[in-house]
Amino acid sequence: MIDEKMRSKSTGLLVISIYLLSLSVFFLTVSEAVCNLQDRDSLLLFSTNVSSPLSPLHWNTSTDCCSWEGISCDDSPQNRVTAILLPSRGLSGTLPPSVLNLRRLSQLNLSYNRLSGPLPQGFFSALDQLTVLDLSYNSFNGKSPFEQSSTNESNQNFPIQTVDLSSNLFQGDILTGSVFLQGAVRLTSFNVSNNSFTGPLPSFICTSSPRLTKLDLSYNKFTGVISQGLGRCSRLRVLRAGFNKLSGEIPKEIYSLSNLEELLLPANQLSGNIDDGITSLTKLRLLDLYFNQLQGEIPKNIGKLFNLRRLQLHINNLTGSVPVSLSNCTKLVKLNLRVNLLGGTLSNVDFSRFQSLSVLDLGNNSFTGDFPSTVYSCKNLTAMRFAGNKLTGQISPQVLELESLSFFTFSQNQMTNITGALSILQHCKRLSTLIIARNFYDETLPSNEDFLAPGAFPKLQIFGTGGSRLRGVIPAWLIKLKSVELMDLSQNQLVGSIPGWLGTLPNLFYLDLSSNLLTGELPKELFQLSALMSQKVYDATERSYLELPVFVSPNNVTSNQQYNQISSLPPAIYVNKNNLNGTIPVEIGQLKVLIVIELQVNNFTGSIPDELSNLTNLERLDLSNNGLSGRIPWSLTGLHFMSYFNVANNTLSGQIPTGAQFDAFPKSYFEGNPLLCGGVLLTSCTAPSTQPSSTKTREKVNTPLVVGLVIGIFFGVSLVLVMLALWVMDKKRRVNPGDSEHAALEISSDASYSEVPLDSEKDISLVLLFGNSGYEAKDLTIFELLKATNNFSQANIIGCGGFGLVYKATLDNGTNLAVKKLTGDYGLMEKEFKAEVEVLSRAKHENLVDLQGYCVHEGARILIYSFMENGSLDFWLHENPEGPAQLDWSKRLHIMRGASCGLAYMHQVCEPHIVHRDIKSSNILLDGSFKAYLGDFGLSRLILPYRTHVTTELVGTLGYIPPEYGQAWVATLRGDVYSFGVVMLELLTGKRPMEVFKPKVSREIVAWVHQMRKDGTLEEVFDPLLREKGSDEREMIRVLDIACMCVNQNPMRRPNIQQVVDWLNDVSKEEAKEETM
């Protein structure tokens, strides 16, 4: 029994001992698992140097740094950090020098963030254990980081295997003296594409890094010839150096790279022949040599490249014929030889062997003979172009075997039988683009409505058959093309009238009927095109057909190039050069999406409809060479984007409108109208004075009768004036000055203020002022206001605010005010006016323009604001030639901060909350110290707290309007944030939000900035005046990041305005923190 107790006790002690031992081992293990303190501190410094508004790093000392997000450590007793993997985390900031203390770091991936600034000094020599470095798609800048290694380690080898610095802002030469690159003996992948590196290509890298398999130097500014040294990269599989400024011939040494799979050298200035040696690169899959100056023939044995998937040699000066051996490249998916000097027939090429071919482009050469029938055996073809050649023959029914065909153009050839071609092609179920212009000369276009079978052309979006001298009428079967967006029937010999059913085509936005023999009037139904009436419908149109540039007629207002992208074509109607007559229908004003209208060289009569002023997107209007009469509507001066307006050779009369762009149009646009005057013609519009009557006539005047009439009129008028004065005084005694609804302004809106008698100061009603004005109500009368504005003289106009002009008023005591005299239909404007008065009188913030007072009466309405000495931000950025130079970076940042604070007050503090709906630079006013004030709430609407939107009529200014406003009539807080982001981009770039008549990408500031960031040319974004003054580029890049978040296409991904305020306030703090490190 005792033994059993002893054994039991011993067993218990053993269990306890094992448990205690386990605990000690556990705690010892935990203790050893704590990461290196120096590494932890370095990481903490890194985390404080970067920020992520979307998802901040939650690194802190309460947890082991080896368990932090994106961090890995080794298994050594020191637990050193070996990897930082934080791609696509939205990080902004700079890379601090503390990172260089992570001496065991082997992997660093910070790609797809918004980091900026140069890499820390000695980056590569300090982090000498790196094997993978990926900093791609950031905004790192400075000179070549490879120059920053110390020179006393010339014999050092680095274990680096992958370097990816693509899509940043690095610049300068990649010099042979780089210690890092010379010691990168294990390097396999080197990608510095999409930067601004200059100088010669770093061919020495093939000697120092014999294991190199990928070398991407594309999209930089490298110059000079391609060095023979690149031929020493014996393991190289990928060589990309396109879109640089390289010249000379392709060195033959390149053709010794037997492992090469991609050779991409497009968009340089390379010359010479394509050497036959290229056929030794039998592993080659992609060969791009397009957009150079290569000449000579395509190598006859190019068929040896049997692994080729893509061959692009277009836009060169190649001659000869297509080699027969090309048929051996049976794996080809894309073949592009367009815009060369190739000729001969295509019958020798067996296209049927290209069973994987998807895109075939042989356009703009000089091929002859029949259309190649073997093409119809390429079962996977989606796009093919033979435009601009000399092919003959007819379209074969075999084309229906190409079931995936979407894009087909053979314009400008010598094909025949248009009826047969259309009868066959209508059954191509996936065809979206069909351009057959400049063929079928002098044939008759089939016109019967039953020409098309049911379900014909179900997906056709682009149909072009212009320039063929086709006869007949506009075919009735076109009404069945419900998907068509672009229709070109120009430069034919079509007769008859324009059918009204064209207006029923739901997606049509580009119609060209010019240069035909059409007669009759413009049908009103034509102006029911829904794609041109609604921006929402137009934006929703599907444009997936843009696989290749396409032929467009010379009516394209941007260029006369034969090849052009449809995406650059404006919404347009061309009916010029016909025999049309009648008046221009007023219904034309419904097509608010239109950018181009050309009606010239017809027989139109009547007046120019005032409804044209509704086309606020209009850029080009040509009405010349018609029989139009009457006056040019002054309302057309409101078409701010119109840069071309031609009414020459009509019978117009009256004064040419002045102001806005009308002052810039040349005289030739108005010549041939003898009765036009004024404006750019510089002829007086004053009517000649009447000749005095003869003496005999004057002698017949009954002088006593005249005297009697004058005396009678005098006493009659005096009696009326006395009675009117008594009535006014009696009414004034009854008015309660505190009642804003009945405060009388006894002046009609169309009266001449100069007729107010000077002694009527006591008889004119008071201006109602709010408590914040600094005046008492008795201190300011309407008379004084009229006097202060010189009776609303044009010389006192200082701007155009919501619903009216703004005048400068200078009171007798020297005080300046801004007076907004509202215009328009007051019955429709009553609600808006009350909202502005009632809300703004309660809105008090240091960055909002104060509403000082107002007057209201059915005859006129006036708002009194504080006066801002420096006017609007728009004036300083775009109107004053000396303005931008005076807005240094500190002023611009100060303006952004102030305006954002005012908007934050409206959105989050003011009760009820306010959506501004028209944020723009002209509504940001500046006082004498350039402090920003948000003004013009005439278009504002109220929303209650916790409501997300108001449904109302869309307002705003082009260039500032958020994209979602075109999809629903909704004004939102996030829409205001978008508009404010555009203002920030204005301040950063110095550009207007929209510049007319530029390519679409560069025309809109938001699209242009996004493209510049994507292209890695960030240095071109900022206003050159800021760069010249040495402004803090790191601050500007941070602010640019904030602005780009504000203009995100997805409103739910935009920050709220308070976040913007906080980020802008943190910009300088972050800079100060960096300077103290």
State the CB neighbour count (10 A cutoff) for residue 666: 9
Buried b (16+ CB within 10 A) or exposed e, 163-188: bbbbbbbbbbbbeeebbbbbbbebbb
CA 673 to CA 659: how far, in whole Å?
20
Instruction: Name the 3-class secondary structure at 487.
Output: strand
Dihedral of the alpha carbons of 308, 311, 317, 319, in degrees to the nearest 10: 50
Residues identified as active-site: 918
Q: Where are the beta strands (DSSP E) in 889-1042?
A: 914-915, 924-926, 932-934, 941-942, 949-951, 970-972
Strand-strand pairing, 644-646 and 620-622: parallel
Cα–Cα nearest to 602, from 583, 589, 630: 583
Q: Considering all CA atoms of the chain, what is the largest pairwise distance in Å, rounded to the nearest integer?
A: 163
Strand-strand pairing, 262-264 and 471-473: unpaired
Amino acid code (one letter) for 394 = Q
821 belongs to an annotated ligand binding site: yes
Strand-strand pairing, 932-934 and 924-926: antiparallel
Cβ neighbors of 402 (< 8 A, separation 6 or more) are 376, 378, 379, 381, 428
Buried b (16+ CB within 10 A) or exposed e, 207-216: ebbeebbbbb
Laid out side by side, the sheet with 245-248 consists of 50-51, 92-94, 114-117, 139-143, 169-173, 196-199, 221-225, 245-248, 269-273, 293-297, 317-319
DSSP line for 676-712: EESGGG----PPPPPPPPPHHHHHTS-HHHHHHHHHH
What contacts 24+ positions apart, CB below 8 Å, involve 612-618? 612/588, 612/636, 612/639, 613/589, 613/638, 613/639, 614/589, 614/590, 615/588, 615/589, 615/591, 615/639, 616/592, 616/640, 616/641, 616/958, 617/571, 617/592, 617/593, 617/641, 617/958, 618/594, 618/642
Cα–Cα nearest to 989, from 962, 1016, 1003, 1009: 1009
CA 299 to CA 943: how far, in whole Å?
71
The DSSP H or E segment spanning 73 is strand 71-73
Encoded tokens for 480: 């069945």
Sequence-ordered alpha helix ranges (H) in 843-972: 873-874, 883-886, 889-904
Encoded tokens for 665: 């149009």
CA 974 to CA 978: how far, in whole Å?
6
Is the sign of the CA dihedral 653, 659, 660, 662 positive or negative? Answer: positive
What contacts 24+ positions apart, CB below 8 Å, involve 155-159? 155/183, 156/125, 156/128, 156/183, 157/183, 157/185, 157/186, 158/124, 158/128, 158/130, 158/183, 158/184, 158/185, 158/186, 159/106, 159/128, 159/129, 159/130, 159/131, 159/186
Is the sign of the CA dihedral 399, 400, 401, 407 positive or negative? Answer: positive
Question: Helices 1057-1076 and 973-989: crossing angle, nearest 10°?
Answer: 40
Matching residue, tokens 């054994």:
7
Instruction: Name the 3-class secondary structure at 897.
Output: helix
Cα–Cα nearest to 56, from 88, 91, 95, 96: 91
Residues at the binding site are 821
Residue ranges of the binding site for ATP = 821
